[in-house]
Amino acid sequence: MVRTIVQPLQKLLTVLEMIKFEHTVFALPFALASALVAANGLPSRRTLALILLAMVGARTAAMAFNRIADLYYDALNPRTANRALPKRLVSVGTAWALVVGGSVVLVAAGYLLNPLAFALSPVALAVVIGYSYSKRFTSLSHLWLGLALGIAPVGAWIAVTGEIGFPSLVLSAAVILWTAGFDIIYALQDVEFDRRYGLFSLPAKIGPARALLMSRLLHIGAAVFLVSFGLLCGLGAWYYIGVALAAFSLLYEQSIVSANDLSRVNAAFFNANGVVSLAVLMFVALDLYAR
């Protein structure tokens, strides 16, 4: 009896680890913040549920496809050789099932939301899945990943209002620059591997030191767009406290990584960035509640 429960649970945990389900904390809070502002409060429970379904569907499809597309390179890279697909802990067939299932969930959620959300759901799917091949041909793949996450606040705004709002594009720009900045830091771990196997990344092309400088400029730009979003939407002091906390987290992230010391990349990648997204959501909610 215990074995019949434990084995499926272990399989589920392996699948969730493969698609890095916990990294949903990056884009989802920005989507929810955008939805709150678009609704000038709390959207309906139905709308929130469909936004959550769309986000989980899109991310599941994108991450599962990424693992399939990168299987050859993941097996060669010592940093990634222990991932579920190279180790055959999850079959390629299961990964494809996740791609198809996540895609269906995204499109179905769009259909249930409104015509524009439904019409743009295949576009969103193409963006998030297409990222997996971007390192084959461009060193700006970090910006493509940024776009894959940055469409989340635009999609949430559409979910609530049925149209693309300019403020959501500004918030999207913040997410794009923020994501590209932290992805450059993450890519520092694979500079030699990328160069050896002909993969493109900014650190591999221009070197770690100059890539880190670019990452810092991108994060400054992200902070500027976060401030601009607040000004456009007439948000108040609570929101700017959240932006200040997010900016401090970005500063901390940049301070603990250098071209010569990558020992804290994981802390910079997950911990600091989790604070950024959650701070924006929490303080948007506080600001709207305080009105």
Provide DSSP, 141-206. HHHHHHHHHHHHHHHHHHHHHSS--HHHHHHHHHHHHHHHHHHHHHHGGGHHHHHHHT---HHHHH
The residue segments making up the domain with residue 272 are 26-290
Tell whether 172 is covered by a domain. yes
Tell whether 16 is covered by a domain. no
Tens digits of residue pLDDT in 62-100: 999 999 999 999 999 999 999 889 999 889 999 999 999
* Number of residues written out for the chain: 291
* pTM of the model as a whole: 0.93
Mean pLDDT of the chain: 92
Return the higher-pLDDT residue of 223 and 261.
223
Angstrom distance (rounded) from CA 149 to CA 9: 29
For residue 215, give the 3-state DSSP assignment.
helix
The region of weakest confidence among 150-159, 161-170, 218-227, 261-270 is 261-270
Kindly report the CATH number assigned to the domain that includes residue 73. Answer: 1.10.357.140
Q: What is the pLDDT of residue 241?
A: 97
Whether the per-residue pLDDT at 289 is higher than 70: the answer is yes
Tell whether 20 is covered by a domain. no
Whether the per-residue pLDDT at 3 is higher than 60: the answer is no
Q: What is the pLDDT of residue 56?
A: 92
Q: Using alpha carbons, select from 76, 50, 62, 52 the residue that is nearest to residue 19.
A: 62
Measuring CA to CA, how many Å separate 234 from each of 126, 163, 173, 231, 291?
33, 19, 18, 5, 11
Q: What is the pLDDT of residue 2?
A: 47
Tens digits of residue pLDDT in 92-144: 999 999 999 999 999 999 999 999 999 999 999 999 999 999 999 999 999 99
Tell whether 159 is covered by a domain. yes
| Structure confidence at residue 4 as a pLDDT band (50, 70, 90) | low
CA 49, chain centre distance (Å): 19
Q: What is the pLDDT of residue 23?
A: 66
Alpha helix (H) ranges present in 40-165? 45-69, 71-76, 92-113, 115-130, 141-161
Total number of domains constituting the chain:
1
Q: What is the pLDDT of residue 170?
A: 98
Angstrom distance (rounded) from CA 63 to CA 76: 19
Tell whether 225 is covered by a domain. yes
Angstrom distance (rounded) from CA 184 to CA 6: 38
Secondary structure letter of residue 80 according to DSSP: T
Q: What is the pLDDT of residue 287?
A: 96
Place of tokens 């730009």: 221
Tens digits of residue pLDDT in 8-57: 767 677 776 777 766 666 789 999 999 999 999 999 999 999 999 999 99
Q: Please give the share of the chain, as a percent, with pLDDT higher than 90.
A: 81
Angstrom distance (rounded) from CA 76 to CA 265: 21
Residue type, 9: L
Tell whether 251 is covered by a domain. yes
Q: Under 8 Å CB-to-CB from 283, ≥6 apart: which residues?
A: 238, 239, 241, 242, 243, 245
Token digits of residue 238: 């609570």
Tens digits of residue pLDDT in 164-190: 999 999 999 999 999 999 999 999 999
Tell whether 21 is covered by a domain. no
Tell whether 52 is covered by a domain. yes
Q: What is the pLDDT of residue 268?
A: 67
What's the whole-number mean pLDDT along residues 244-253? 94
What's the whole-number mean pLDDT along residues 183-208? 94
